[in-house]
């Protein structure tokens, strides 16, 4: 057994860290590993120490979609109902919800079963000379128990919920968008300390909704309600063209500018089936990142609007009967 396989197996029972918090840790690790690159200054993010440790253990995080089988069906409702216009986030998300509501609901996984996912990650390494960033990629398989209660109880990531917890919580969410968003904010609370400051309501809602959407599995009906509620969050937009996920597939990007950040978070959906296929963090405006308090001022790391700093794609997902099993 090679060391990386053993390391991934040690990680299997540990909780998957929140992707929003994990993103800066991964970028810092990637830049520190790149020759001639200076690591970026840590942003004021939640659980920084735990995030960096988790990123060092594994680059892959468990992502999700509504499917109970290996890969999304790309010949779905969008092609049957005409071209998809990428002009209004509300139009796209409500159309997605309409399609999902017509689908049957697979049975809930059993407590002894495992959630298998295959994930590709791309991390951009910034530069100080304005040149295009280099990219580090990784593809990993992961198996996590559906009822991962032990990890949820002892995990240090306060945003971690087991697949079973989110599956059942999502099913119980009301149809009313305002009440649904209040429910997901309770499921994934915001901070309340100086180290973990509270988020504004819209920011909190979009982060919490993204964590629900990423969970595997989630029923079509529940996902439809979540999409309708997502469309009502202030600042949510749709990118006016299809983008590429980390696996090179075309996707619809539902996006919102991160409060107090130079980046925007993008939730990526399959343009035909409307399954969640991944997420990206994209630079929203040109900026230069510098370390505060440096005795000698350095050029800093330059980022250009449109650069993708982190991209994650769920390539496959399935409910299986044992660890190591693939569909």
Task: Give domain status of residue 230, yes or no.
Answer: yes
Q: Which band of pLDDT confidence, cut at 50, 70 and 90, is reported for residue 269? A: very high
Task: Give domain status of residue 218, yes or no.
Answer: yes
Give the total number of structural domains in the chain.
1
Instruction: Give how far Cα 243 sits from Cα of 44, 117, 183, 269, Å.
Output: 29, 22, 30, 10
Residue 35 has pLDDT above 60, yes or no: no
Task: Give domain status of residue 325, yes or no.
Answer: no
For residue 44, what pLDDT is reported? Answer: 27
Instruction: Give how far Cα 66 sits from Cα of 27, 89, 114, 121, Å.
Output: 28, 20, 15, 20
Q: What is the extent of the structural domain holding 93?
A: 3-320
List Cβ neighbours of 154 (8 Å cut-off, separation of 6 or more): none
Residue 256 has pLDDT above 90, yes or no: yes
In the predicted model, what is the mean pLDDT of residues 55-66?
A: 32
Task: Give domain status of residue 197, yes or no.
Answer: yes
Residue 301 has pLDDT above 60, yes or no: yes
The pTM (predicted TM-score) of the whole model is: 0.74
Chain mean pLDDT for the chain:
78
In the predicted model, what is the mean pLDDT of residues 25-45?
A: 35
Task: Give domain status of residue 312, yes or no.
Answer: yes
Which range scores top for mean pLDDT: 68-82, 150-164, 253-267?
253-267
Percentage of the chain lying above the pLDDT 70 cut: 68
- What token pair was written down for 143? 């198996």
In the block, residue with structure tokens 């920084």: 48
Give pLDDT tens digits for 74-98.
333 444 457 889 999 999 999 999 9
- What token pair was written down for 79? 């092609």
DSSP 83-119: PPPTT-HHHHHHHHHHHHTTSPPPPPPPTT-EEEEEE
Rounded distance between C-alpha atoms, residue 235 and residue 305, angstroms: 18
In the predicted model, what is the mean pLDDT of residues 160-178?
A: 96
CB contact at 8 A, 86 and 298: no
Task: Give domain status of residue 326, yes or no.
Answer: no
Q: Of residues 177 and 57, which shows the higher confidence score?
A: 177
In the predicted model, what is the mean pLDDT of residues 191-197?
A: 85
Give pLDDT tens digits for 270-289.
999 999 999 999 999 888 87
- What token pair was written down for 146? 């559906």
Helix axes 19-33 and 201-214, enclosed angle (nearest 10) = 80
Rounded distance between C-alpha atoms, residue 171 and residue 326, angstroms: 27
In the predicted model, what is the mean pLDDT of residues 11-31?
A: 44
CB contact at 8 A, 292 and 272: no
Rounded distance between C-alpha atoms, residue 43 and residue 260, angstroms: 11
Rounded distance between C-alpha atoms, residue 86 and residue 91, angstroms: 8
């Amino acid at each position: 057994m090679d060391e990386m396989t053993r390391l991934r197996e040690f990680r299997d029972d540990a909780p998957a860290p929140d992707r929003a918090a994990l993103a800066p840790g991964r970028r810092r690790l990637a830049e520190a590993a790149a020759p001639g690159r200076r690591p970026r200054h840590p942003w004021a993010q939640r659980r920084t120490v735990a995030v960096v440790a988790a990123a060092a253990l594994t680059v892959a995080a468990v992502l999700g979609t509504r499917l109970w089988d290996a890969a999304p069906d790309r010949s779905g409702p969008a092609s049957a109902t005409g071209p998809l216009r990428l002009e209004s986030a509300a139009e796209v998300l409500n159309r997605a919800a309409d399609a999902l509501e017509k689908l049957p609901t697979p049975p809930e996984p059993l407590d002894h079963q495992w959630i298998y996912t295959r994930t590709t990650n791309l991390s951009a390494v910034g530069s100080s000379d304005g040149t295009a960033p280099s990219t580090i990629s990784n593809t990993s398989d992961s198996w996590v128990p559906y009822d991962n209660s032990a990890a949820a109880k002892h995990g240090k990531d306060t945003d971690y919920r087991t697949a079973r917890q989110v599956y059942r919580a999502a099913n119980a969410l009301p149809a009313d968008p305002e009440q649904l968003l209040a429910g997901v904010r309770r499921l994934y609370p915001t901070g309340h300390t100086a180290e973990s400051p509270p988020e504004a309501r819209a920011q909190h809602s979009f982060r919490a909704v993204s964590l629900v959407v990423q969970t595997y599995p989630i029923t079509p009906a529940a996902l439809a309600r979540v999409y309708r509620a997502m469309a009502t969050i202030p600042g949510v937009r749709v990118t006016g063209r299809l983008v590429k996920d980390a696996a090179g597939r075309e996707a619809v990007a539902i996006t919102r500018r991160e409060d107090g950040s130079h980046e925007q978070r993008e939730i990526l959906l399959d343009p035909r089936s409307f399954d969640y296929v991944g997420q990206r963090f994209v630079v929203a405006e040109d900026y230069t990142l510098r370390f505060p308090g440096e005795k000698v001022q350095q050029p800093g790391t330059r980022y250009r609007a449109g650069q993708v700093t982190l991209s994650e794609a769920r390539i496959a997902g399935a409910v299986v009967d044992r660890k190591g099993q693939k569909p």
